[in-house]
Structure 1
């Protein structure tokens, strides 16, 4: 089953969430695997309240997921929201690659002539 294209609202939420350096740092910590709020807070030197707030924003943007392990809530990176951002950014590459190819080919032709 293929993923549905992300809506513009999903993309906006993800980009807003990624605009904050604390949220990007939290994603970096979770990159290696699920973490509890306290672990993330300690590693980044943030309060648990601040960390919980940022995790809520990341979850709303589809960039983080939460699972339960006994009484602990573990948070991990979710690729759903990242997929929306990647799809958006991927649309820029073909245009840039064509421009680069033209520039390189133009320069190679000028060097020969």
Structure 2
């Protein structure tokens, strides 16, 4: 996509439960947290592990934002968990935007 435009595009994966990505990413939350590791460590199921992952992401929000802001180009596409309600109800999206102090126009969330 970047080759077809004059924009620098960054790709971010914020889905700790994702097993396979169809694109290369510039930042991947799975380098910090995965739901599989949480399931094994805490002996819980996938839904509880996703909620727990969101809690852990919230605690590490400063590091996550620093990693994302460092690579921001003109457009940043952020892939979020398919269970969007978890991401929204935990208000992680809003906290990311507030902490990054970045224009919403530059950030695009998808699930």
Q: TM-score range by the shorter chain?
A: under 0.3
Higher relative helix content: 1
TM-score between the two structures when normalised by the length of structure 2:
0.26
**Larger-Rg structure:** 1
